[in-house]
């Protein structure tokens, strides 16, 4: 089943069946579940609640919990790593790159997605919310890494090449999305999370945001797109 960038990332792995694949920053296992029919799949996330949900959702996968720069597997264990919508959140991105380099065997595949540092970056709802209301307002996300890294980073192709350096070869980049979901999320953040202080209603209303997010990710664009997906090979 093709579901926006998660399905695209799965297909870009291009690994033989039975290969070992890590979904790093797997959240509640939404993308992990797309891998288990083809690969020996593992998931890793910082959130205890997410990992508990992921274990129930995808019982055939193996899950571990901890920061993205501390994954309990030996060197070169994985043939592929997915890092989808994660790098922009972590406190120490260089440490995460080091950990992925350690985990991937030579020739292994890394597929990542991040917000693009292009013309639409200013729409970012998390950054606009923080800019408007500061750190005294309720945080715009329940991501446990937000207090340590209260910014939603954006990257260009050049940024990624510089960050991943000589240990990875960048094979291709893909740009998608118009950023239309961001004003929707900003409205929900202001009305439900800030003014009404109702997290439960906000969590329900976020399905509208997620729906738009998934639909617009089907729109392929040039380097002006809101999202950037990159395909790397471990050297």
Share of the chain above pLDDT 70, in %: 99
Compute the average pLDDT of residues 119-142.
95
d(CA 139, CA 196): 14
Are 138 and 173 in the same domain?
Answer: no
CATH code at position 93: 3.40.50.150
Are 52 and 17 in the same domain?
Answer: yes
d(CA 6, CA 214): 10
Instruction: Classify strands 227-234 and 104-115 as parallel, antiparallel or unpaired.
Output: antiparallel
Are 64 and 126 in the same domain?
Answer: no
pLDDT at 1: 42
Are 23 and 40 in the same domain?
Answer: yes
Identify the domain containing residue 88 by its residue range. 1-118+154-177+219-235
pLDDT at 5: 87
Are 5 and 26 in the same domain?
Answer: yes
Are 114 and 46 in the same domain?
Answer: yes
Compute the average pLDDT of residues 7-31.
96
Residue pLDDT, tens place only, 166-216 = 999 999 999 999 999 999 999 999 999 999 999 899 999 999 999 999 899
| Contact between residue 44 and residue 67 where contact means Cβ atoms under 8 Å apart | no
In the chain, count of helices (H) and strands (E)? Answer: 7, 8
Are 109 and 209 in the same domain?
Answer: no
pLDDT at 2: 54
Are 83 and 168 in the same domain?
Answer: yes
Are 190 and 80 in the same domain?
Answer: no
Are 64 and 17 in the same domain?
Answer: yes
Secondary element (H or E) of residue 201: helix 199-216
CB atoms within 10 A of CB 226: 26
| Contact between residue 87 and residue 93 where contact means Cβ atoms under 8 Å apart | yes
Number of domains in the chain: 2
Are 32 and 134 in the same domain?
Answer: no
Return all residues near 212 (Cβ < 8 A) that are at least 6 apart.
Answer: 180, 181, 184
Compute the average pLDDT of residues 81-96.
97
pLDDT at 4: 80
- Residue 2: which of 227, 158, 151, 218 has the closest Cα? 218
pLDDT at 143: 87
């Amino acid at each position: 089943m093709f579901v926006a960038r998660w399905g695209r990332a799965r297909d870009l792995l291009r690994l033989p069946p039975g290969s070992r694949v890590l979904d790093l920053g797997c959240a509640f296992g939404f993308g992990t579940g797309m891998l288990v029919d083809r690969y020996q799949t593992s998931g890793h996330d910082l959130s205890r609640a997410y990992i508990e949900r992921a274990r129930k959702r995808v019982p055939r996968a193996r899950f571990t919990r901890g920061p993205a720069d501390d994954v309990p597997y030996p060197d070169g264990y994985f043939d592929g790593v997915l890092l989808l919508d994660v790098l922009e959140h972590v406190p120490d991105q260089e440490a995460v790159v080091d950990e992925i380099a350690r985990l991937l065997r030579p020739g292994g595949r890394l597929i990542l997605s991040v917000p693009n540092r292009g013309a639409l970056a200013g729409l970012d709802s998390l950054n606009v919310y923080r800019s408007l209301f500061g750190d005294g307002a309720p945080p715009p996300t329940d991501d446990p890494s937000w207090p340590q890294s209260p910014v939603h980073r954006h990257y260009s192709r050049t940024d990624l090449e510089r960050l991943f350096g000589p240990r990875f070869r960048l094979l291709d980049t893909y740009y998608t999305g118009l950023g239309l979901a961001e004003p929707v999320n900003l409205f929900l953040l202001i009305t439900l999370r800030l003014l009404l202080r109702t997290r439960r209603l906000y969590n329900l209303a976020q399905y509208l945001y997620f729906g738009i997010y998934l639909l617009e990710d089907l729109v392929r664009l040039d380097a002006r797109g809101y999202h950037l997906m990159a395909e790397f090979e471990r050297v």
